[in-house]
Amino acid sequence: MMRTDGSTPVNPDPAFWRGRRVLLTGHTGFKGGWLALWLHRLGARVTGIALPPAGAPNLYTLARVGELCDSHFIDIRDGRAVKDRVRRSEPEIVFHLAAQALVRAGYEDPPATYATNVMGTVHVLDALRGLESVRAAVMVTTDKVYRNLEQPYPYRENDALGGHDPYSASKAASEMVIASYRDAWLSSQGVAVASARAGNVIGGGDWAADRLIPDAVRCWRAGQALPVRRPQATRPWQHVLEPVAAYLRLAEILHGQPALAGAYNFGPHTHEAATVRQVIGQARLAYGGGDVQWGDGAEGPHEAGWLALEVARARTELGVRPRWGLQESVSRTMTWYRRQCEGADARALCEADIQAFEAAGTAS
């Protein structure tokens, strides 16, 4: 079993990915779009399954992600269509990112949230049963799968799962599904299955509603004040390339060392969890200003106030550790949006960030 002290972060290995057949669900989304771009850069042959991109602008369209993969618009709630496309693509590696990923949207439509996040996960995993080609599956959940006790305690992979809101509960339930399929079928079939629990992600190309940085960009471009409901809410913020690199590394390790299957946290160092107020402060500096309307934390439905992750397992067993701190992550994110607004090509901006991220790993 390979272990590392995490002193040198490891970049994805082009030799491993070149020509590798990869199935990626959620490639039309924010994080999935970045992963599709990096997989293409590495030489992988990617089949994408997802709903059409939601709204405009969106990263899938602006970065022309569909040109770089075999793209299929399929609802993961449609088990028969998912199984048919998975079997046709004969993947060696699977990344499952397709999800209903917003807390407040979960409150607005709980049935759709549970159907997408729980049964969608069932459909993807069930399609792998009996499929000889597949060797590893990285199932992306969230840092919100833990039963949050509102204590200043970084959650570890073996802590209790739970969820007050429908989004969090649906992701915790999907963790149970993942473990069941791994233990009941896929492990004995030779498929290494892991769940990836990443902290809050920021980066260029996210235009989803009700997310902090996209909301800030929209408000400030329009000359409006950004309403912030919970300025003291603390989260493990990280640039999108941190978890995307971790997913790639995890898949590589699982392919050769299936005994390392299981759950992994991915996020910044525990002491670097930051408040919403701190993130917005950095964003205003990088953007050059922007008005904010600070709330008192009482508005809207319940959301966890404090959340941090223990990431020691990712560091010791995968060689994954953070590269960009909060200031660098926010600065790069705001620069991406500013340059894209000025006319820069979205794909080129993403590729430049990927190159810089790889270089940061080499230099560490």
The reported pTM is: 0.95
Contact present, 86 and 95 (Cβ < 8 Å): no
Q: Can you say whether the dihedral through the CA atoms of 345, 50, 163, 296 is positive or negative?
A: positive
Contact indicator for 17, 42 with CB cutoff of 8 Å: yes
Other CB atoms within a 10 A radius of the CB of residue 352 amount to: 16
Query: By the 8 A CB rule, do 23 and 89 touch?
Result: yes
Burial 93-124 (b: 16+ CB within 10 A, else e): bbbbbbbbbebebbbeebeebbbbbbbbbbbb
At 149 the pLDDT is: 87
H/E stretch holding 95:
strand 93-96
Q: So what's the pLDDT on residue 1?
A: 36
How remote is the C-alpha of 10 from its chain's centroid? 18
CA angle 310, 319, 253 (to 5 degrees): 110
Q: What percent of the chain stands above pLDDT 70?
A: 95
Q: Which two tokens stand for residue 96?
A: 């499952």
Pairing of strands 274-275, 234-235: antiparallel
pLDDT in tens, 72-97: 999 999 999 999 999 999 999 999 99
| Token pair for 6 | 């995490």
What topology does CATH give the domain 14-360?
A: Rossmann fold (3.40.50)
Residues in the chain predicted with pLDDT less than 50, given as ranges, are: 1-6
What is the predicted pLDDT for the residue at 300? 62
Tokens of 217: 């960009």
Encode pLDDT of 136-193 as tens digits. 999 999 999 999 988 778 999 999 999 999 999 999 999 999 999 999 999 999 999 9
